[in-house]
């Protein structure tokens, strides 16, 4: 096999226009797979090439899809032309590579980037199809991370189901809650993210392959269109399907706005969770301890910074920014095409990869090393107004309010609170202790308390 495989004049022109960059490898792989599916469909319906020539074409597609030729794809996604430069880059590389494979077998074959590699295709159906493949796989990665995070939170929900702590609203003492319920609430938000991502897989799996330039299937024979759809599913092993409204699929990219919103909502939930943990791990609360993963200060030795939480929060903001950009790119479509698909793809790849990184860091690095300070949790609870509020139904709302407004000293321990409540109500201490149990205070007895 020769070593002079390269791209051609159209890619060179695009490099001059848009500068050097790096086409994301997942998109290179996906576009090579689309080309392979299209070439198989052409061969199935037309027998255009000899068996030897077609074997060289298949080998070229496989070689590119493997990642071994990524250095030949140096175009940035920030480009004009709706992805035509990406398509021509792939066409030229595959034609050159297939010729190289033939030469290595002493076969004299020439492949034309347009007449052969791009047969029955347009940039406007093959590039959006490749984008769908790359983003579907990324969505699956993100979904797996969300599932793992939900499971990790549920595990801690069970672990701490009987650890009573101070519940707070508006940064003030409210009512008792178990730490298990706190973790369960976080798990509930992540469960919705999991549900959304599962639904998004169904929403984004349609492709415009076979619609060619504007979704009218111009110059694409019907047998080829059906064969290409079948081949695409076989090559990618993904549940992709040709859109039933190809002009719509070509002109409108709102499904990518929906995916961006899914990524953004997940990031928002992460941001909120990290904010909660920042408070719980702060020296003001001390109810949890952030993992000591690196020095907290270059001058203060006895300090741990919440670097993992800050890292995840920063990524969450970044994800939301990229999602906002996707919405703007969706809106920039005009008439029968949205020419900003490469820009949109860049933002979604950035958002999705950042989300995967954020969840992984949060789950493995932060949650994996998080420590709960049960002693501090009990001390904070005993000395808070939360327990006093919890006894409102027994002491009476006005009694609790009077004690609070008169500046009565808060109990220093749960046992002191038992004594105070017993004196105020005339009930036996044992009965008060039962009222202060996790089952009663945190609503685990159906509210009968």
Instruction: Report the pLDDT value the prediction gives residue 219, as an integer from 0 to 100.
Output: 95
Q: How many CB atoms lie within 10 A of CB 102?
A: 23
In the predicted structure, residue 168 carries a pLDDT above the cut 80: yes
Instruction: Report the pLDDT value the prediction gives residue 277, as an integer from 0 to 100.
Output: 97
Q: What are phi and psi of 299, to 5 degrees?
A: -130, -25
**What is the arithmetic mean of pLDDT over 430-446?**
72
On whether residue 1 sits in a domain, the answer given is no
Q: What is the DSSP string of 316-346?
A: HHHHHHHHHHHHHHHHT-BTTB-TTHHHHHH
Task: Please tell me whether residues 222 and 144 are part of one structural domain.
Answer: yes
In tens, the pLDDT along 36-85 reads: 999 999 999 999 999 999 999 999 999 999 999 999 999 999 999 999 99
On whether residue 315 sits in a domain, the answer given is yes
Q: Name the residue among 306, 311, 232 with its Cα closest to residue 270.
A: 311
Q: Give the residue from 119, 135, 161 where a domain finishes.
A: 119
Task: Please tell me whether residues 198 and 306 are part of one structural domain.
Answer: yes
Q: Name the residue among 190, 152, 381, 332 with its Cα closest to residue 268.
A: 190
On whether residue 152 sits in a domain, the answer given is yes
On whether residue 436 sits in a domain, the answer given is yes
Instruction: Report the pLDDT value the prediction gives residue 449, as an integer from 0 to 100.
Output: 35
Instruction: Report the pLDDT value the prediction gives residue 64, as an integer from 0 to 100.
Output: 98
Q: How many CB atoms lie within 10 A of CB 310?
A: 12
SS3 173: strand
Instruction: Report the pLDDT value the prediction gives residue 190, as an integer from 0 to 100.
Output: 98
Task: Please tell me whether residues 341 and 194 are part of one structural domain.
Answer: yes
The partner residues of 173 in beta bridges, in order of sequence, read 168
Cα Rg for the chain, rounded, in angstroms? 30
Task: Please tell me whether residues 321 and 411 are part of one structural domain.
Answer: no
CA dihedral in degrees (392, 398, 400, 403; nearest 10)? -170
Average pLDDT in the chain: 91
In the predicted structure, residue 128 carries a pLDDT above the cut 90: yes
On whether residue 378 sits in a domain, the answer given is no
In the predicted structure, residue 329 carries a pLDDT above the cut 60: yes
Give residue 444's pLDDT band: very low, low, confident or very high (50, 70, 90): low
On whether residue 191 sits in a domain, the answer given is yes
Task: Please tell me whether residues 226 and 343 are part of one structural domain.
Answer: yes
Cα distances from 170 to residues 179, 210, 263, in angstroms, run 18, 56, 28
In tens, the pLDDT along 100-114 reads: 999 867 677 899 999
Instruction: Report the pLDDT value the prediction gives residue 406, as an integer from 0 to 100.
Output: 58
pTM: 0.92
Instruction: Report the pLDDT value the prediction gives residue 35, as an integer from 0 to 100.
Output: 98
Phi-psi region of 110 (alpha: psi -120 to 50; beta: other; left: phi over 0): beta
Q: How many domains does the chain have?
A: 3
Ranges 20-29, 85-94, 100-109: which has the least confidence: 100-109
Q: What is the rounded CA–CA span in Å between residue 52 and residue 56?
A: 6
CB 57 within 8 A of CB 93: no
Give residue 24's pLDDT band: very low, low, confident or very high (50, 70, 90): very high
Q: What is the rounded CA–CA span in Å between residue 194 and residue 260?
A: 15
Domain of residue 352: give its range.
125-172+181-372
Cα distances from 248 to residues 79, 83, 243, 244, 257, in angstroms, run 23, 18, 9, 9, 15
CA dihedral in degrees (64, 67, 73, 79; nearest 10)? 110
In the predicted structure, residue 448 carries a pLDDT above the cut 50: no
Ranges 105-119, 202-216, 346-360, 418-432: which has the least confidence: 418-432
Domain of 283: which CATH number? 1.20.200.10
Task: Please tell me whether residues 93 and 129 are part of one structural domain.
Answer: no
Q: Name the residue among 313, 321, 293 with its Cα closest to residue 362.
A: 313
The vertex-200 CA angle with 199 and 205, nearest 5°, equals 110
The sign one gets for the Cα dihedral 66, 39, 345, 357 is negative
Q: Give the residue from 353, 372, 391 where a domain finishes.
A: 372
Q: Give the residue from 119, 147, 163 where a domain finishes.
A: 119
In the predicted structure, residue 246 carries a pLDDT above the cut 90: yes
On whether residue 447 sits in a domain, the answer given is no
Which ranges of 361-412 would DSSP assign to H, the alpha helix? 374-382, 385-390, 392-395, 397-405
What per-residue string of b and e applies to 341-369 under the rule 16 or more CB within 10 Å gives b? bbbbbbbbbbbbbbbbebbebbbebbbee
What percent of the chain stands above pLDDT 90? 76
Task: Please tell me whether residues 108 and 240 are part of one structural domain.
Answer: no
On whether residue 269 sits in a domain, the answer given is yes
**Helix and strand totals (H; E) in the chain:** 18, 6
Task: Please tell me whether residues 22 and 153 are part of one structural domain.
Answer: no
Instruction: Report the pLDDT value the prediction gives residue 434, as an integer from 0 to 100.
Output: 80
Task: Please tell me whether residues 259 and 354 are part of one structural domain.
Answer: yes
Task: Please tell me whether residues 354 and 393 are part of one structural domain.
Answer: no
Give residue 402's pLDDT band: very low, low, confident or very high (50, 70, 90): low
Task: Please tell me whether residues 18 and 140 are part of one structural domain.
Answer: no
Task: Please tell me whether residues 104 and 194 are part of one structural domain.
Answer: no
CB 421 within 8 A of CB 390: no
Ranges 65-79, 187-201, 226-240, 404-418: which has the least confidence: 404-418
In the DSSP assignment, the letter for residue 176 is E
Instruction: Report the pLDDT value the prediction gives residue 413, as an integer from 0 to 100.
Output: 72
Domain of 62: which CATH number? 1.10.275.10
In tens, the pLDDT along 301-327 reads: 777 889 999 999 999 999 999 999 999
């Amino acid at each position: 096999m020769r070593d002079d495989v390269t791209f051609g004049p159209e890619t060179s022109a695009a490099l001059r226009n848009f500068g050097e960059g790096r086409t994301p490898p997942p998109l290179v792989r996906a576009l090579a797979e689309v080309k392979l599916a299209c070439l198989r469909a052409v061969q199935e319906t037309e027998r255009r090439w000899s068996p030897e020539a077609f074997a060289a074409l298949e080998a070229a597609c496989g070689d590119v899809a493997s990642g071994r030729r990524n250095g030949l794809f140096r175009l940035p996604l920030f480009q004009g032309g709706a992805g035509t430069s990406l398509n021509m880059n792939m066409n030229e590389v595959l034609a050159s590579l297939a010729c190289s494979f033939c030469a290595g077998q002493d076969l004299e074959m020439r492949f034309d980037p347009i007449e052969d590699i791009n047969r029955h295709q347009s940039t406007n159906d093959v590039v959006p199809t490749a984008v769908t493949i790359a983003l579907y796989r990324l969505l699956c990665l993100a979904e797996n991370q969300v599932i793992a995070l939900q499971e990790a939170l549920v595990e801690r929900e069970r672990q701490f189901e009987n650890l009573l702590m101070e519940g707070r609203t508006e940064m003030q003492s409210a009512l008792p809650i178990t730490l298990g319920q706190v973790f369960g609430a976080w798990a509930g938000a992540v469960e919705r993210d999991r549900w959304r991502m599962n639904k998004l897989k169904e929403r984004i799996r349609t492709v415009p392959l076979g619609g060619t330039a504007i979704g009218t299937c111009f110059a694409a024979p019907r047998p080829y269109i059906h064969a290409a759809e079948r081949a695409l599913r076989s090559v990618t092993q993904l549940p992709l399907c040709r859109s039933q409204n190809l002009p719509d699929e070509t002109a409108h990219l709102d499904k990518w706005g929906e995916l961006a919103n899914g990524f953004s909502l997940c990031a928002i939930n992460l941001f909120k969770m990290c904010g909660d943990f920042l408070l719980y791990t702060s020296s003001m609360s001390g109810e949890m301890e952030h993992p000591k993963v690196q020095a907290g200060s270059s001058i203060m030795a006895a300090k741990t910074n919440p670097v993992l939480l800050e890292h995840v929060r920063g990524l969450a903001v970044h994800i939301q920014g990229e999602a906002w950009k996707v919405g703007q790119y969706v809106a920039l479509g005009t008439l029968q095409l949205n020419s900003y698909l490469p820009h949109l793809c860049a933002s979604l790849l950035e958002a999705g990869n950042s989300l995967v990184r954020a969840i992984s860091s949060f789950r493995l690095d932060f949650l994996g090393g998080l420590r709960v300070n049960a002693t501090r949790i009990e001390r904070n609870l005993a000395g808070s107004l939360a327990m006093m509020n919890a006894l409102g139904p027994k002491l009476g709302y006005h009694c609790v309010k009077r004690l609070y407004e008169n500046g009565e000293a808060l109990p220093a321990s749960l046992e002191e609170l038992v004594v105070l409540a017993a004196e105020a109500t005339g009930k036996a201490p044992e009965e008060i202790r039962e009222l202060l149990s996790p089952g009663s205070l945190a609503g685990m007895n159906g509210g009968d308390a």
